[in-house]
Amino acid sequence: MIEDTIAAIATAVGEGSIAVIRISGPEALQIADRIYTGKDSLASQPTHTIHYGKVRDPQSGETVDEVLVSVMRAPRSFTMEDVVEISCHGGIVPVRRTLDLLLDAGARMAEPGEFTKRAFLNGRIDLAQAEAVIDLIRSRSDRAFSIAMKQAEGSLSERIRMLRHDLVELMAHIEVNIDYPEHDVEEMTNTFIKDKTLSAIDVIEGLLRTAKQGKVMREGIITAIVGKPNVGKSSLLNELAQEERAIVTDIPGTTRDVIEEFVTVNGIPLKLLDTAGIRETADVVERIGVERSRGAIADADLILMVVNSNEPLTDEERALIVQLQGKPMLLLLNKSDLPAGVDKKWLSEHIEQERMIEMSMKEHRGIDQLGEAIAKMFFSGEVETADPTYVSNSRHIHLLNQAQHSLQEALQATEQWMPIDMIQIDIRTSWEKLGEIVGDAVGESLLDQIFSQFCLGK
Amino acid sequence: MGYHAGDYDVIVIGAGHAGCESALAAARMGCETLLITINLDMVAFMPCNPSIGGPAKGHVVREIDALGGEMGRNIDRTFIQMRMLNTGKGPAVHALRAQADKFLYQHTMKETIELQDNLELRQGMVEQLIVENGECKGVITKTGAEYHAKTVVLTTGTYLRGKVIMGELMYESGPNNQQPSIKLSDNLRELGFDLVRFKTGTPPRVLRESIDFSKTEIQPGDEKPRYFSYESTADTAAQEEQLPCWLTYTTSNTHQIINDNLHRAPMFSGQIEGTGPRYCPSIEDKIVRFHDKPKHQIFLEPEGRHTSEYYVQGLSTSMPEDVQLSMLRSISGLENVRMMRTGYAIEYDAVVPTQLWPTLETKLVPNLFTAGQINGTSGYEEAAGQGIVAGINAARKVQGKESVVIDRSQGYIGVLIDDLVTKGTNEPYRLLTSRAEYRLLLRNDNADLRLTPIGYEIGLIQEERHERFLAKKEAIANELARLASVKIRPDEDVQQLLAEAGTAPLQNSVDAVTLLRRPEITYSQLDVLCPPDDDIAADVKEQVEIQVKYSGYIEKQLLQVERLKRMESKRIPDDIDYYAVHGIASEAKQKLAEIRPLSVGQASRISGVTPADISILLVYLEHYNQVVASRS
């Protein structure tokens, strides 16, 4: 049972404090090393030590977060296995990213109560504590079940069910070729399998795209409002908040701290970072404002930089604009009701026209244009609010990625002219991963499909 | 009046494919064994198709052979046609299939049994089990003979309360008009066994001289036949010229005749109560369910060398006799056919197989084992595979040795038995390769590598054969090591050979293993590029090639097997009270208490037992072990 390495967010706290991701199992150090860059590899560190370093996306090389990492080697850890704890800077985004990277690097998402279960199985805690774990496993799995049921009614599970049906039909066809070689059914060719596999990959890709959008729709676009004081940041905030009353996030499992404020612009939810900071610093000196802004920029999916179009840009503002080139930034030229004083020539040399929006908070102008610009940026112009199929659960996203990965391997195998029974291995894995999303039991249904789809007999 | 007729270690009831393997295994393991059957002319009889093997089934025959069983040797000596199927697919699903001379097959098996030391063959109808203090102690026959034994293996096939059905006609009978076994079924019920009613069927047989073969397609055997047994050679196997089979089709007329007579089909008139298998439906069932299929394949298969009877594969039916004749005569090539035997459906009692341990001993009556169709399976090979396992365990129990269970990663026999005892079956169970999750490891070519060590350990594989096996294993390891070390340089000859094979030229020197992984390269090309010092046997080359070529897939499956083994190694004590385990869902409790799985692995395969239940079970077991440890 205890053979793989598990990971989960062990604490869930709001922005500004530290979130800890715990990894436990025989490969904890190796898996953490795949995403961690520090002075030395974690695998070379002695037990009970703490290290400073960075979490990097091994594919893109991009830095996700600066972290402190604790190494606790077996058996001197809570689970009595090798344990690595990564303390992230907080803010949901880098923590989630880090966990996703760990899952991609070979860890499995821990089940509810699994760390404690391991602690018990390895003799770390006594039965009384373990019984509490049992209740936890039971209640959480029941809850997971009810969530799964709820999802089963949704259109996501409907789409996955259809995709699985296509795959099982393909599999049944392959199996009949194998188990009834003399039977007069259509011969399974690699080309046929390839076509079917490609279209399944398409479907998953589509779902993963909605995952991005679904995440946005559920969690909001993480948005930083930056700019020097007195350009209208808090007016912008108030303007946005008018459209929908600011609400407090209620992310399951977290303490219900006020983390970020939600607003919507043209139906697109934005999660505004450091709104308290904006309100507080409205009258404080320029230097602090810009510094704070830099911190928020790192965490944001969208940066709204506000400048006063009535005045020339300061050196700091110019530097910030240059720094934000290539990032998802919109430049809001506020106070457009006043005579223009901003250096438009310089701006047009440094930023695309479509990223500049003239606004007047005072006259309530420009919000619609802002909404359109955001929609264009994140949804290629279209917001499919009518379509509720969003993959938002990171477990589902992870399973979809795995399902897609297996299909890619199947596809590659067809291109290398592997025999159909080998290709089937990867198709089956993909089908099973999709099954884990909707909670369908694996097994007899392939046989059911074979016998209902084909006329076999002696 | 009863009389004491003898004392044995093991008694096997029924001399079909399961019973023969059981009895031979027990006797060869040194047990005094009695094999008792209703009619001695029916030993190893094939009541249905005259063929052995095919996907999954052929794999089982090889596994039986690797364990030291008889089916492989017997068919190799009596086949009239041999074909390797699926050769266009991966090595895991290559499948050997033989057409048997079914009469010779019987006689050869009977002779082997008669000549076997420690084994006595006896005709008799067993009507009752001797059960004392809840344990099985022997059997009583219709003639009053009381045979005593330490263990008993029951292989009743389709004889238990057998009932033959042809259209409106229905009568109590075993297969092929044999006497059915009625009282034994009642006895099992009295002992508390849960029985189910299953159904199977067989097509009519026709006279060769009345077939117009010119209207059919010939289906010849392989030019160079392969054998099932790792012991068979061209000298020991059948040597006569192979006989072909013939392919023809039903016509729209056939379908019309069936549709016109559906009201007389017992399948649809409600006469048949037993559950039939989906994978071999009768022709009337096929036509109803797949009504848009314009024609169905019919294979005409000879039943032996010295008979004119032909088996009409694809036309299994329980239609009335007159309808059967019209159906036959509507098929291309059979316009003037003479029917020799009428097709029929047969209903019989089977034991619900979840009442068995994975050793095939019943949970209800210790020392009683069951194997074959009585356990809800169908097929000669499935029966024989269970037979040898039941025979081995019946003998091991007599000898006070630990039982033998083949797991799902070791063989199709393991998959078959695990499925039966863990999940049960609601129709006659047929093996399919898709039932095996480690299909790539359970290959036709490596059954010896998988199971010979077990066969040797239990004493069914002789020293001489074992040494040959070890030598083969070593040769494979040596050749793999050699290929990994030998370097192939990108010289002109090499590049030309690669170009001819349609693969990219070499940039640098590579080892031979790397080159062999290329899809276009086969071992025979390596033979030219880097010939071995000594000749290497063909079966060694085959292993090396497969192990290298598919190593990526093989390693993936091996990883999964490792996980399986860890779960299988967590044993569950037999005295565990599931109802006392806090937290397990009540449906799962019920299932667990019924199946009484031996390991956490087996528990996890029971339907209705969720991963959360397994987690809780693990926690409980840990606690249980701690308590037990602290007590002792």
Q: What is the pLDDT of residues A340-376, one digit of tens each?
A: 888 888 888 888 888 899 988 888 888 888 888 887 7
Is it the case that residue B344 has pLDDT exceeding 50? yes
Report whether B258 contacts B281 (CB < 8 A).
no
pLDDT score, position A453: 67
Is it the case that residue A259 has pLDDT exceeding 50? no
Long-range contacts of A49-55 (CB under 8 A, 24+ apart): A55/A86, A55/A88, A55/A94, A55/A97, A55/A98, A55/A101
Q: Using CB atoms, which residue from B279, B550, B582 is nearest to A422?
A: B550
Task: Provide the 3-class DSSP secondary structure of residue B532.
Answer: coil
pLDDT score, position A161: 84
Report whether B246 contacts B219 (CB < 8 A).
yes
pLDDT score, position A212: 65
pLDDT score, position A257: 31
CA distance A193 to chain B (A): 14
Is it the case that residue B348 has pLDDT exceeding 80? yes
Rounded CA gap, A325 and A331, in Å? 11
Rounded CA gap, B19 and A447, in Å? 29
Average pLDDT over residues A262-272: 73
Is it the case that residue A247 has pLDDT exceeding 80? no
The overall average pLDDT reported for chain A is 76
Report whether B75 contacts B29 (CB < 8 A).
no
Tell me which range, A81-90, B152-161, B566-575, is most confidently predicted by mean pLDDT.
B152-161
The overall average pLDDT reported for chain B is 94
The verdict on B429 touching A (C-beta cutoff 8 Å) is no
As given in the structure block, the two tokens for residue A457 are 């007999």
CB contact under 8 A, B615 and A137: yes
Report whether A442 contacts A435 (CB < 8 A).
yes
As given in the structure block, the two tokens for residue B530 are 């880097």
CB contact under 8 A, A421 and B92: yes
Band the pLDDT of A389: cuts 50, 70, 90.
Answer: very low
ipTM of this predicted structure: 0.88
As given in the structure block, the two tokens for residue A170 are 């393909």
The verdict on B432 touching A (C-beta cutoff 8 Å) is yes
In chain B, which among 593-632 make CB contacts under 8 A with chain A?
600, 607, 610-612, 615-616, 618-619, 622-623, 626
Q: How far is CA B131 from CA B140, B148, B187, B193, B229, in A?
A: 11, 10, 10, 13, 39
Band the pLDDT of A326: cuts 50, 70, 90.
Answer: confident
Q: Looking at A276-285, B246-255, B378-387, B587-596, which range is the least confident one?
A: A276-285
Please name which of B92, B329, B292, B90 lies closest in space to residue B206, comparing C-alpha atoms: B329
**Tens digit of each residue's pLDDT (9 = 90 or more) over A223-236:** 888 887 778 777 78
Is it the case that residue A49 has pLDDT exceeding 90? yes
Report whether A21 contacts A98 (CB < 8 A).
yes
* Chain A residue with the nearest C-alpha to that of B91: A419
Is it the case that residue B198 has pLDDT exceeding 80? yes
Band the pLDDT of B567: cuts 50, 70, 90.
Answer: confident
Is it the case that residue B444 has pLDDT exceeding 60? yes
Band the pLDDT of A191: cuts 50, 70, 90.
Answer: confident
pLDDT score, position A283: 39
CB contact under 8 A, B55 and A178: yes
β-sheet bridge partners, residue B84: B96
Q: Give the residue, A287 or B246, on which the prediction is more confident.
A: B246
Residues from chain A contacting residue B49 (CB–CB below 8 Å): 458
Name the strands in the sheet holding A302-308, side by side, starting at the edge strand that comes first in the sequence.
Answer: A247-248, A261-265, A268-272, A221-226, A302-308, A329-334, A356-358
Tell me which range, A94-108, A338-352, B474-488, B579-593, is most confidently predicted by mean pLDDT.
B474-488
Band the pLDDT of A171: cuts 50, 70, 90.
Answer: very high
Rounded CA gap, B262 and B288, in Å? 9
Is it the case that residue A276 has pLDDT exceeding 70? no
pLDDT score, position A258: 32
In degrees and rounded to multiples of 5, residue B202 shows phi and psi of -145, 150
Query: Taking the CB of residue B314, how many other CB atoms lie within 10 A of it?
Result: 23
pLDDT score, position A111: 76
CB contact under 8 A, A1 and B570: yes
Report whether A343 contacts A313 (CB < 8 A).
yes
Band the pLDDT of A14: cuts 50, 70, 90.
Answer: very low
Band the pLDDT of A135: cuts 50, 70, 90.
Answer: low
Element (H, E) at B172: strand B169-172
The verdict on B408 touching A (C-beta cutoff 8 Å) is no
Long-range contacts of B482-490 (CB under 8 A, 24+ apart): B482/B512, B482/B532, B483/B511, B483/B512, B483/B513, B483/B516, B483/B526, B483/B530, B483/B544, B483/B548, B484/B511, B484/B512, B484/B513, B485/B511, B486/B511, B486/B512, B486/B530, B487/B511, B487/B512, B488/B512, B488/B515, B488/B529, B488/B530
First to last CA, chain B: 53
Q: Give the residue, A116 or B219, on which the prediction is more confident.
A: B219
pLDDT score, position A245: 37
Please name which of A41, A129, A34, A40 lies closest in space to residue A79, comparing C-alpha atoms: A129
β-sheet bridge partners, residue A63: A56
Q: Looking at B86-95, B121-130, B302-311, B396-405, which range is the least confident one?
A: B86-95
Is it the case that residue A90 has pLDDT exceeding 80? no
**Disruptive mutation site among B249, B619, B620, B627 for chain A (greatest number of A CBs within 10 Å):** B619
Is it the case that residue A151 has pLDDT exceeding 90? no
Tell me which range, A84-93, A297-306, B190-199, is most confidently predicted by mean pLDDT.
B190-199
Residues from chain A contacting residue B48 (CB–CB below 8 Å): 458
Rounded CA gap, B615 and B604, in Å? 10
Rounded CA gap, A102 and A32, in Å? 7
Average pLDDT over residues B156-172: 95
Rounded CA gap, B419 and B407, in Å? 11
Quote the percentage of chain A above a pLDDT of 90.
22
Can you say whether residue B424 is alpha, beta or left, with left for phi > 0 and alpha for psi between -120 and 50 degrees? left
The verdict on B424 touching A (C-beta cutoff 8 Å) is no
Residues from chain B contacting residue A409 (CB–CB below 8 Å): none
